[in-house]
Amino acid sequence: MTPCQCNPFLDARSTPEACLAAPLLQSLFTMTQPKRALITGITGQDGSYLSELLLQQGYEVHGIIRRTSTFNTDRIDHLYEDPHNEGVRLFLHYGDLCDGSTLRRILDKVQPQEIYNLGAQSHVRVSFDEPEYTVDAVGVGTLRLLEALRETQQRTGQEIRYYQAGSSEMFGKVMEVPQKETTPFYPRSPYACAKVFAHWQTINYRESYGLFACNGILFNHESPRRGETFVTRKITRALARIVAGTQKTLYLGNLDSKRDWGYAKDYVRAMWLMLQQDEPDDYVIATNTTYTIRQFLDVAFGYVNLDWQNYVEFDPRYLRPAEVDLLIGDSTKAQTRLNWKPSVTFEELVKIMVDADMRAIGLTPPGEGEALMHREAATVRQDSSVTVDVAN
């Protein structure tokens, strides 16, 4: 009998029948292995929530982190375990979107089935101060990752699905209200221009090489883990200090721009859903509502019975050379095809953030936001063995 050479799941004594059954055995083996995902930007707001979601789904999660002189893993510390322990499913690798050879090496080693490209210099105002670096990390970084993916997939023959973290900033000086997948882009910052480049590269790789690559066009999404210099978190953090009596004034820029603000946890679910579909596609993820910064201030300060006008002052340093005045999304496509919808309203989001920032500095918050978080955490605990930090 000629021994079977064609499949590692068979040994030399396998019969021809077993050889025919080998593909089935192999796919059964693959099905019982945890899926492997690789996340760039795992230490960011979205990276941390996405890691939680994937671990809850049973994935093995690999994240790329940058070497820094101080620890930058605060948002994922509650998920991290010593890799020497048995059963660990979260692994971190040093790398950078500006370093293509390292990206290739990591892909080669991890061989993920899904990649979520969330890494970015994501601050719009800062992108005017550091345009070259922003475009390198956000734009060219995406291209480096897509190339590494293409090469790895070609070499291994194993499909790698790709998610690109696109932004509503790409709509910029909006050509249509509300904005949907077909609305033309008009980017207004180095960051947004780089995201447009990354968006079209993702489509180009999908169409040229048949990659399963999706663009999420996500509108602003916030949480207690939002970076401290984005306007929502800057407000809720300052408000907590004002209540504590340790801060008197909050300096802000343009209060008239409008944003479609959602809850980050809802948005990472949409990323995952995109990669579970039969076909790759691009989706707007938004709440379909819009509010000014003033309205955010009204709800946040009103929640603790304060009038923001007594505390907020204008500082022109927070203005941008070009502003995006109005963002409001139309996420009908995602709601219809992905069965995705936001679970948290604008008012609820503000309260969640105010409560968390008050609690973080030892105050007792009004509690409506915390009640929402606990309700959600209880649901998650019912179907998961992964520890999730409910206070965050």
**Which amino acid would we find at residue 109?**
K
Q: Which residue is nearest to ligand NAP (CB)?
A: 44
Report what 66 binds from ligand G4F, ligand NAP, none; CB cut-off 5-8 Å by kind.
ligand NAP
Which listed residue (191, 263, 291, 303) is catalytic?
Answer: 191
- Give the C-alpha separation, 42 to 80, whole Å: 12
* Shortest distance (Å) from residue 121 CB to ligand NAP: 5
Report what 124 binds from ligand G4F, ligand NAP, none; CB cut-off 5-8 Å by kind.
ligand G4F
Report what 47 binds from ligand NAP, ligand G4F, none; CB cut-off 5-8 Å by kind.
ligand NAP
User: At 197, phi and psi to the nearest 5?
Assistant: -55, -50
- In 3D space, the residue among 214, 194, 236 whose CA is nearest the CA of residue 359 turns out to be 236
What is the distance, to the nearest Å, from the Cα of residue 293 to the centroid of all Cα atoms in its chain?
A: 23
Residue 123 CB neighbour total at 10 angstroms: 16
Q: Which is nearer to ligand G4F, 76 or 124 (CB)?
A: 124
Strands 283-285 and 213-218: parallel
* Shortest distance (Å) from residue 385 CB to ligand NAP: 25
Cis ω on the peptide bond leading into residue 178 (within 30° of 0)? yes
- Give the C-alpha separation, 192 to 139, whole Å: 10
Q: Which residue is nearest to ligand G4F (CB)?
A: 167
| Region binding ligand NAP by CB under 6 A among candidate stretches 23-31, 96-104, 176-184, 243-251 | 96-104
Number of residues that bind ligand NAP (CB under 6 A): 26
Q: Do residues 88 and 71 lie in contact, with contact meaning Cβ atoms separated by under 8 Å?
A: no
* Shortest distance (Å) from residue 164 CB to ligand NAP: 9
- Give the C-alpha separation, 308 to 250, whole Å: 9
170 in contact with ligand NAP (CB under 6 A): no
Give 170-174 contacts, CB < 8 A, sequence gap 24+.
170/195, 170/196, 170/199, 170/217, 171/324, 171/327, 172/322, 172/324, 173/322, 173/324, 173/325, 174/324, 174/325, 174/326, 174/327
| Region binding ligand NAP by CB under 6 A among candidate stretches 9-17, 36-44, 369-377, 384-392 | 36-44
Looking at residues 208 to 247 of the shown chain, list those that interact with ligand NAP (rule: CB under 6 A). 218, 220-221, 227
Lookup: tokens for 342: 């936001």
Catalytic annotation present for 191: yes
Which listed residue (52, 60, 114, 169) is catalytic?
Answer: 169
Residue 184 CB neighbour total at 10 angstroms: 10
179 in contact with ligand NAP (CB under 6 A): no
* Shortest distance (Å) from residue 206 CB to ligand NAP: 19
Report what 46 binds from ligand G4F, ligand NAP, none; CB cut-off 5-8 Å by kind.
ligand NAP
Report what 40 binds from ligand G4F, ligand NAP, none; CB cut-off 5-8 Å by kind.
ligand NAP
Hey, which residues are catalytic here? 167, 169, 191
Chain residues that interact with ligand NAP, rule: CB under 6 A: 40-41, 43-47, 64, 66, 68, 72, 96-98, 118-122, 137, 165, 167, 218, 220-221, 227
